[in-house]
């Protein structure tokens, strides 16, 4: 029996995630959006790509949540995207209402699902989804670290002339300018990055990673979608196929890394029950201080939640 995956939001990120999930060919995908015709049209287009790309056409578009009933995983991409000059923090008020509403609709029909949150500002929206669902932290997780790490790995591959497949890296912290690329744990083919690049070049890659989302917003006039959609699909794979992958995700911490009561990016073991373990890396003193600073920045955004509702 094929699994059922719901993607809420048929914009660029949602549609890309839906296609990436469909291409795995193990699940039926329901694409939901409030705009009439949008999810239906994109689902039809994605279905017609199936025979070419080698997956079965099993995508449906809907404007309500009845078709999503009994989903195994719900991916939430709904909300306003970033525009030039707009920080992720500027999105809080509007997207809090949107994410809260769609979460309640989805979990009412799929009470056993796992929530994967993609909407920005990511860390804060994870709090919204967890509170709206009433679910434990294991079943509400956010996509950020995989995307940020992919950007870091790309820049490292370009800098070193190596294959991105051989770059092992991890980006922790909030999904914003205070994220923490863990240089001490970064290798290329098993060789520490610091043996392959100067501190000046590493600092430049770290800074470009931190500004990676903003760089794309300035170029495109809106947020990225190909890499975020692919990153969300990787999380869906890990959960749906019970892969036990250790991936950087936004998880609710209860004392890990000295942080309590906050969603922030850390390595987690992701499997059929969601977040099955939180992995604590041996960080340097500098990295631990940066993670603490990133947590403080996330708390400032989270503190805004509920003020406008």
Known catalytic residues?
A: 175
Q: Backbone phi, then psi, for 211, in 5-degree steps?
A: -100, 10
Closest CA relative to residue 114, chosen from 299, 268, 259, 266: 268
C-beta separation of 60 from 29 below 8 A: yes
Q: Backbone phi, then psi, for 246, in 5-degree steps?
A: -95, 110
Q: Supply the DSSP string of 211-237, one letter for each residue.
A: THHHHHHHHHSS---HHHHHHHHHHHH
Provide the Cα torsion 69, 146, 287, 253; round to 10°: 10
Query: b vs e for 283-299, b when ≥16 Cβ sit within 10 Å of the residue's Cβ?
Result: beeebeebbeebbebbb
C-beta separation of 235 from 229 below 8 A: no
C-beta separation of 227 from 145 below 8 A: no
C-beta separation of 248 from 149 below 8 A: yes
Query: How many CB atoms lie under 10 A from the CB of residue 243?
Result: 15
Chain mean position to CA 198: 30
Looking at the DSSP assignment, which residues form a beta bridge with residue 235? none
Looking at the DSSP assignment, which residues form a beta bridge with residue 249? 266
C-beta separation of 157 from 165 below 8 A: no
């Amino acid at each position: 029996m094929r699994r059922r995956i719901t993607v809420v939001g048929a914009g660029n990120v949602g549609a890309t995630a839906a296609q990436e999930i469909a291409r795995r060919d193990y699940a039926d995908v329901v694409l939901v959006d409030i705009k009439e015709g949008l999810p239906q049209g994109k689902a039809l287009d994605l279905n017609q790509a199936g025979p070419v790309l080698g997956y079965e056409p099993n995508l449906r578009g809907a404007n309500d949540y009845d078709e999503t009933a009994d989903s195994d995983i719900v991916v939430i991409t709904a909300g306003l995207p970033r525009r030039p000059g707009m920080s992720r923090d500027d999105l809080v008020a509007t997207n809090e209402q949107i994410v809260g509403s769609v979460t309640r609709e989805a979990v009412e029909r799929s009470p056993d699902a796992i929530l994967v949150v993609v909407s920005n500002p990511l860390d804060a929206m994870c709090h919204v989804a967890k509170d709206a669902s009433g679910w434990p932290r294991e079943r509400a997780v956010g996509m950020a670290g995989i995307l940020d790490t992919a950007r870091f790995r790309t820049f490292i591959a370009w800098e070193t002339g190596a294959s991105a497949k051989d770059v092992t890296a991890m980006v922790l912290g909030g999904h914003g300018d205070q994220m923490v690329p863990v240089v001490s744990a970064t290798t290329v083919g098993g060789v520490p990055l610091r043996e392959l690049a100067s501190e000046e070049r590493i600092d430049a890659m770290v800074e470009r990673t931190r500004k990676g989302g903003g760089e794309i917003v300035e170029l495109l006039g809106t947020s990225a979608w190909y890499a975020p959609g692919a990153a969300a699909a990787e999380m869906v794979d890990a959960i749906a196929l019970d892969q036990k992958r250790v991936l950087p995700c936004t998880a609710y911490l209860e004392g890990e890394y000295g942080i309590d009561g906050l969603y922030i990016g850390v390595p987690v073991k992701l499997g059929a029950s969601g977040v099955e373990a939180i992995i604590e890396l041996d960080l340097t003193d500098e990295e631990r201080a940066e993670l603490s600073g990133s947590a403080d920045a996330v708390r400032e955004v989270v503190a805004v939640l509920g003020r406008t509702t």
